[in-house]
Amino acid sequence: MRTLVRYGYVPFMLLAVNGAGVAIAAAGASKLWLVGLVFLAIAVSFAAERVLPYRQEWNAARGDDRRDAVHAAVNESLTIASLAVVPVLTAITPFDGIWPGEWPFVVQVLAAILVADLGITLVHLASHKIPALWRLHAVHHSVKRAYGFNGLMKHPLHQTLETAVGFTPLILLGMPTSVAYAVALCAVVQLLLQHSNVDYRVGPLRLVLALNQAHRFHHLKWAGVGDVNFGLFTLLWDHLLGTYSYDPKRQFTSDDLGMAAKPNYPDAYLAQLAEPFRSSGACTSDDAKAPTEPAAPTSH
Ligand SMILES: [Zn+2]
C-alpha cells in the first residue's frame, strides 16, 4: 500500500482527478461534479498522508485544523465567485476571438495553466519582495507543518490578487469559462500536492513540476533562504528567473518552517485576516536581509 501511494498518489491526482475534471468541464456537465472532485481530492490527500507521511508529527493538528478548514471554505467559495465573473469579463474583452478554441480541450487547459502559472509565479515572487504584499502573503507562511490542506490556507485578498494576475491575460484572450473551471480544479489539486505531507516520488519530474519536494524549500523560515521555487504548477519560470533551488539530502522538520522573525504570528482565523493591517503585520527591518546560512534565525 505504501509503495502504491509513493508512486501512484501523484499520477492519480494529476491524471485521474484532473483528467476527470477536464472531461467534465469539456462536456459542459454540472459544475457540482467539479465540487465533488475537490472533496474527493481533499479526502485522498488526507488518506495518503496517513499511509505514507513525510513526517508523522505533521499529521497531528496543532489547533490549526478547524482554522484551515475555514480558510479552505472561504477561499474556495471565493474561487467559485470569481469563476462566475469570467463569462461577464470575457464577453467584454476587446481581443475576443484570439483564443485557440479549435485546439483539443485538454491542450487549451494545459496552455492556460502555463500562462496562469507565469502570472501567479510573478505575484508570488513580488509578494516576497514588496513589504505591502508580504503582509498579506505572510499568513500562508505562518504554518509550522506542511500538509495538503494548508495549501488552501492563505489570506483571501492575496488569493484574489494571485487569481486576478494569473487569469487576466487569459480572460483578455477570450478563454472560455469551461477552460477556467478546469484550471481552477487543477489549481486546488496542485495546492494539495504542493504542500502534501506524503513522502511520494515523481522521479525527474520533480525538476519540472512544482511539487512538495521543491516547495518545502520555499517554506524555510529564514528571509531570503525561502525566496525560491515560487511556481504553483511548474518550476519552469523559476528555472528561467534563477530562483530554483533543490538539495536531495535536505530533510525538513517543523523547526525549519514558518517565519523566523514572526514566531508568534496569530493562529486564529480572524486574527490572521486582520494581521496584515496591524503594525505587527509589517516586515521588520531585518526582513530585507538574506542570510547566507539558514543558521541565522534573525529575520523574515
Ligand atoms: Zn511564498
Query: What spacing in Å lies between the alpha carbon of 124 and ligand 1's midpoint?
Result: 6
| Residue 247 is assigned to a structural domain of this protein | no
Which residues, 6 or more positions from 248, have their beta carbon under 8 angstroms from its beta carbon? none
Q: How far apart are CA 211 and CA 197, in angstroms?
A: 11
Query: What spacing in Å lies between the alpha carbon of 123 and ligand 1's midpoint?
Result: 10
Query: What spacing in Å lies between the alpha carbon of 227 and ligand 1's midpoint?
Result: 7
Q: What distance, in Å, lies between the first and last C-alpha atoms of the chain?
A: 40
Q: How far apart are CA 162 and CA 85, in angstroms?
A: 16
Query: What spacing in Å lies between the alpha carbon of 220 and ligand 1's midpoint?
Result: 10
- Provide the H-helix boundaries in the chain: 2-11, 18-27, 32-51, 65-92, 105-129, 131-141, 156-172, 177-194, 212-218, 236-241, 269-274
Query: What spacing in Å lies between the alpha carbon of 206 and ligand 1's midpoint?
Result: 18
Mean pLDDT of all residues in 255-277: 90
pLDDT, tens only, 168-214? 999 988 899 999 999 999 999 999 999 999 999 999 999 999 999 99
- What would the grid cell of residue 69 be? 478548514
Predicted TM-score (pTM) of this structure? 0.89
Burial class from Cβ neighbours inside 10 Å (0-12, 13-18, 19+) for residue 110 reads middle
The whole-number pLDDT of residue 178 equals 93
| Residue 234 is assigned to a structural domain of this protein | no
The whole-number pLDDT of residue 254 equals 87
How many whole angstroms from its chain centre is CA 91? 28
Of the candidates 108, 162, 143, 157, the one whose C-alpha atom is nearest the C-alpha of residue 219 is 143
Query: What spacing in Å lies between the alpha carbon of 104 and ligand 1's midpoint?
Result: 33
Burial class from Cβ neighbours inside 10 Å (0-12, 13-18, 19+) for residue 168 reads middle
Query: What spacing in Å lies between the alpha carbon of 218 and ligand 1's midpoint?
Result: 6
| Residue 167 is assigned to a structural domain of this protein | yes
Q: How far apart are CA 71 and CA 172, in angstroms?
A: 29
Q: Are 139 and 191 in contact (CB under 8 A)?
A: no
Query: What spacing in Å lies between the alpha carbon of 15 and ligand 1's midpoint?
Result: 26
Neighbours of 82 (CB within 10 A): 17
- What would the grid cell of residue 127 be? 509578494
Query: What spacing in Å lies between the alpha carbon of 92 and ligand 1's midpoint?
Result: 33
| Residue 72 is assigned to a structural domain of this protein | yes
Mean pLDDT of all residues in 264-287: 83
Of the candidates 112, 105, 96, the one whose C-alpha atom is nearest the C-alpha of residue 180 is 112
pLDDT, tens only, 213-235? 999 999 998 888 889 999 999 99
The answer on pLDDT for 287 being more than 50 is: no
Query: What spacing in Å lies between the alpha carbon of 127 and ligand 1's midpoint?
Result: 7
Query: What spacing in Å lies between the alpha carbon of 148 and ligand 1's midpoint?
Result: 15
Mean pLDDT of all residues in 240-247: 94
| Residue 224 is assigned to a structural domain of this protein | no
Which residues, 6 or more positions from 54, have their beta carbon under 8 angstroms from its beta carbon? 146, 196, 197, 198, 199, 212, 252
Burial class from Cβ neighbours inside 10 Å (0-12, 13-18, 19+) for residue 39 reads exposed
Query: What spacing in Å lies between the alpha carbon of 230 and ligand 1's midpoint?
Result: 7
The count of domains in the chain is 1
The answer on pLDDT for 284 being more than 80 is: no
Query: What spacing in Å lies between the alpha carbon of 91 and ligand 1's midpoint?
Result: 33
Query: What spacing in Å lies between the alpha carbon of 77 and ligand 1's midpoint?
Result: 22
Domain with 75 in it: 2-207
| Residue 251 is assigned to a structural domain of this protein | no
| Residue 8 is assigned to a structural domain of this protein | yes
Query: What spacing in Å lies between the alpha carbon of 226 and ligand 1's midpoint?
Result: 8
| Residue 235 is assigned to a structural domain of this protein | no
Chain length of the chain: 300
Q: How far apart are CA 149 and CA 71, in angstroms?
A: 10
Q: Are 237 and 231 in contact (CB under 8 A)?
A: yes
| Encoded amino acid at 50, one letter | R
The answer on pLDDT for 42 being more than 70 is: yes
Query: What spacing in Å lies between the alpha carbon of 73 and ligand 1's midpoint?
Result: 21
Q: If you average pLDDT over each of 16-20, 80-84, 219-223, 245-249, which comes out highest?
A: 16-20
